[in-house]
Structure formats: C-alpha cells, structure tokens
Amino acid sequence: MALIVQKYGGTSVGTVERIQAVAEKIRKCRENGDSVVVVVSAMSGETNRLIDMAAQIDPHGPAREMDVLVSTGEQVTIALLSIALEKIGAPARSYTGSQIRILTDDAYSKARILNIDDSRVRSDLDAGRVVVVAGFQGVDAEGNITTLGRGGSDTTAVAMAAALHADECQIFTDVDGVYTTDPRVEPKARRLDRITFEEMLEMASLGSKILQIRSVEFAGKYNVPLRVLSSFTEGGGTLITFEDDEMEEAMISGIAFNRDEAKLTIQGVPDRPGIAFEILGPIGQANIEVDMIVQNVGDNDTTDFTFTVHRNEYAKALEILRQIAAKVGARKVVGDDKIVKISLVGVGMRSHAGIAAAMFEALAKEGVNIQMISTSEIKISVVVAEKYLELVVRALHEAFGLDREPAMG
C-alpha cells in the first residue's frame, strides 16, 4: 500500500462536473489500496477573478488582505471535492492551510513553507479518509493567512509529500507530461517518460511553464518523486526523478527556448580592471536581472560587452547603459529586442563530447547566425534572431533524434 499525494490544477477542477470526475479518480486510487492526500487549486479563472475585484477598489491593496482574499478560491474547491467524495462513498475531510498548519514565513503573496504539522493528516489517513488540502496557502507564526505565489499549489503538494514521506507526488494537469520541446513549435515533440530534477529545472526556468519552479527545487531537495500527468487522459505521464542507469542513453533530453529576451551591447569601453562592475553594477541596482554576459577580447585597450535581459526591461536597461557609456567614455551602445535564446538540455552532456559542435553544425546547415553562446554543465544555449526560432528548434530536434525513443541498453 502506497501513500500518494495528488495535486489537481485549476482546469482539472474547473467545473462541478470535473470535480466529480476527480473524485471518481481518487476513489479508484483508494480502491487499489493506496492512501491519498489531495491538494487542489482554485477553479480555473477564480484567482484572477478575485484579484480583479480587489483591483476595482485598489490596484495595490494591502498585501495581507490580498492573501486573505485569494486564498478563498482553494477553500471552495476543497469543500466541493470533499462533498463529491463523500457522495460516492469515499470518506473525506478538507483542510485549509492554516487548519493543518502549513507554517510559512510572513512574506505575503510569496511566502515560503517552513514546516508542516502532519499529525492531523496522519490520523485521518489511519481512519481511512481521503485528506483534501487547499493548495497555495499557509499561515505565518502570527496566524496571518499567507499565499505561496502564483502556481503555488504545486509547491504545497510537493511539501505535503515531503512532510509525509509519500511514495510519489502526482501533479495532474491539462498536459500529459513533459515534452522534448513545445509541441506547438515542433509537432514531432515526444513525451518523456523520465527527466531529472536538474533537467526539469532548466526546462522550467526556460519557459516550459508546466510546474511552479519552486516545487521542482523542493522535490529535488527532499527527494520526492514527482510525476506530471493529465487528468483528462490515461497514461503514465513523466516522472521527474534522480539520474539513474536507465537514463544514461539519452544525450539530450529536450530543447527549451525563451522568447522574452533582449540583447544590449556597449562597444569600445576602456579595457581596465573594474569595468564589468561599472557597467553591470548600475543594471543590477536597477533590479534588472542579467542572463548571458559576453566580453570580447580587448583591442587597442578597449573592449565590447554584450548581455541579455528580459524583454520587459529592455528600454530601461538601454537607457541606463547610455548613461554608463557617457560616463566611462564608451564608443557606442546598440541593442536588439528581437532575439530568442534556445537551449539544449541534458545530463548526458557531462559524459558526451562534441554536443556543442553538433549543435553548431545543425545551425550552420540552416544558415542561421549565432549571436551569443553560453554553456553550463547540462545546457548549451545560443541566441539567434527571433525569426529563426521555429527553424532552429526543429533542426535541433531532428539533429539530436529527439523524435525517436532513445535506444535501450
């Protein structure tokens, strides 16, 4: 008999009928002899609806009251689901975050979980009940309601699974797993049976918005096997786990991309100690996050710097960079916000040489100019003109055989 934590997102509980279908799924799981703790989101659209109402009064309402407000969405779902479970003969009990005491810090709207008291949950499970927990919310040491950030129910589920030492945390959503790349860009994208936490973090931070990133970090830290699967279709989904022997065959697990990038270059800056700090210091002070950074080899005692920022921050960064250029006596500032970053991700890179070369060869064949390159242990990223996004993703998908099942053994 296993202990499973299941999480159902907003679309999976978007209507009363869907809530009843979820109850049916849970009942079946219990009939297999498993104990089930269920974490739910608000019904789809509900959190936005609540925020919009508050915004009609004040677009910047007090953070404490905003959390009291948005946490109500999940409270509706836990009650409806428990009613649905009881109706079909599955004893159930619902709990808000403060009732089971999901203790968090006091950072409203982005609180972090500090501790979960599992005693109540355990005694309910021992009594044969399904425990239904409101996602996304907790309570601080003073008893104030807090929330965990948008998409935070994923993190609640993983934290519950960690606290209970559950056998698996299953995230039911509207996609049937994690894909080699976005199927809207490459229709040949294939669902992965497994992916490592590290790879998932890279894929997630690069824009595959299947799970809240924090939940993946949490699962990796506490070694909670995490599975993403569809609540609408049958199938095993994708298991996110630690690296093991079975996974070694795949060199590359996926291709992630990020459309929200912009590039800035400052040319002809004096090549002297401290210059990188003089340039990037003010950018950091303006709270602009810098992603890739490239400094060219100095020439005539001057050098060029190029870096990327989020596209929303492009105008602000450009303005700051112009001021810096005047101050340090740089020759010119140029920028481009029609760029994308495309990355190959795979733990297999650690043990295979030549992946970067194969990537660049694929781009060369398509005649695509690479503007920037960066690498980390399990990722190689290139910046190219936005118009090449589809072309490059498909070319790489083909070149690395991602549409085929990896060979066994």
Residues that bind ligand ASP (CB under 6 A): 9-10, 41-42, 47, 73, 135-136, 150-153
Contact of residue 132 among Mg ion, ligand ASP, none (CB under 5-8 Å per partner type): none
Question: What sections of 180-238 are H helices per DSSP?
Answer: 197-205, 213-222
Which residue's CB is nearer to Mg ion, number 9 or number 177? 9
**Residue 36 burial (C-beta neighbours within 10 Å; 0-12, 13-18, 19+):** buried
Instruction: Annotate 210-247 with b (16+ C-beta within 10 A) or e (fewer).
Output: bbbbbbbbbbbeeebbbbbbebeeeeebbbbbebeeeb
| Residue 175 C-beta: closest distance to Mg ion, Å | 11
Token pair listed for 223: 């070694």
| Residue 75 C-beta: closest distance to ligand ASP, Å | 11
| Residue 108 C-beta: closest distance to Mg ion, Å | 20
| Residue 13 C-beta: closest distance to ligand ASP, Å | 10
Which residue's CB is nearer to ligand ASP, number 94 or number 265? 94
Helix (H) or strand (E) holding 399: helix 389-399
Q: Is 59 helix (H, G, I), strand (E, B) or coil?
A: coil
Contact 384, 371 (CB under 8 A): yes
| Residue 13 C-beta: closest distance to Mg ion, Å | 11
Contact of residue 346 among ligand ASP, Mg ion, none (CB under 5-8 Å per partner type): none
Contact of residue 256 among Mg ion, ligand ASP, none (CB under 5-8 Å per partner type): none
Contact 162, 185 (CB under 8 A): no
| Residue 156 C-beta: closest distance to ligand ASP, Å | 8
Which residue's CB is nearer to ligand ASP, number 153 or number 181? 153
Contact of residue 136 among ligand ASP, Mg ion, none (CB under 5-8 Å per partner type): ligand ASP
Q: Is 20 helix (H, G, I), strand (E, B) or coil?
A: helix
Which residue's CB is nearer to ligand ASP, number 44 or number 205? 44
Which residue's CB is nearer to Mg ion, number 73 or number 151? 151
**Binding stretches for Mg ion (CB under 5 A):** 9, 151
Which residue's CB is nearer to ligand ASP, number 71 or number 381? 71
| Residue 120 C-beta: closest distance to ligand ASP, Å | 22
Contact of residue 75 among ligand ASP, Mg ion, none (CB under 5-8 Å per partner type): none
Which of these, 362, 359, 363, 381, lies nearest to 372 by C-alpha position? 381
Contact 8, 38 (CB under 8 A): yes
Which residue's CB is nearer to ligand ASP, number 10 or number 406? 10
Please count the other Cβ atoms lying within 10 Å of the Cβ belonging to residue 205. 14
Which residue is listed with tokens 């799981």?
29
Residue 17 dihedral angles phi and psi, to the nearest 5°: -60, -40
Task: Give me the amino acid identity at 94.
Answer: S
Which residue's CB is nearer to ligand ASP, number 9 or number 220? 9
| Residue 9 C-beta: closest distance to Mg ion, Å | 4
The residues, ordered by sequence, that sit 6+ positions from 232 with a Cβ below 8 Å of its Cβ are 12, 174
Instruction: Annotate 262-296 with b (16+ C-beta within 10 A) or e (fewer).
Output: bbbbbbbbebeeebeeebbebbeeeebebbbebee
Contact 380, 359 (CB under 8 A): yes
d(C-alpha 198, C-alpha 339), whole Å = 26
| Residue 5 C-beta: closest distance to ligand ASP, Å | 14
| Residue 111 C-beta: closest distance to ligand ASP, Å | 12
Task: Give me the amino acid identity at 286.
Answer: A
Contact of residue 135 among Mg ion, ligand ASP, none (CB under 5-8 Å per partner type): ligand ASP
Contact of residue 348 among Mg ion, ligand ASP, none (CB under 5-8 Å per partner type): none
Distances 391 to 254, 344, 388 between C-alpha atoms, Å: 16, 15, 5
Contact of residue 138 among Mg ion, ligand ASP, none (CB under 5-8 Å per partner type): none
Which residue's CB is nearer to ligand ASP, number 151 or number 237? 151
Which residue's CB is nearer to Mg ion, number 97 or number 348? 97
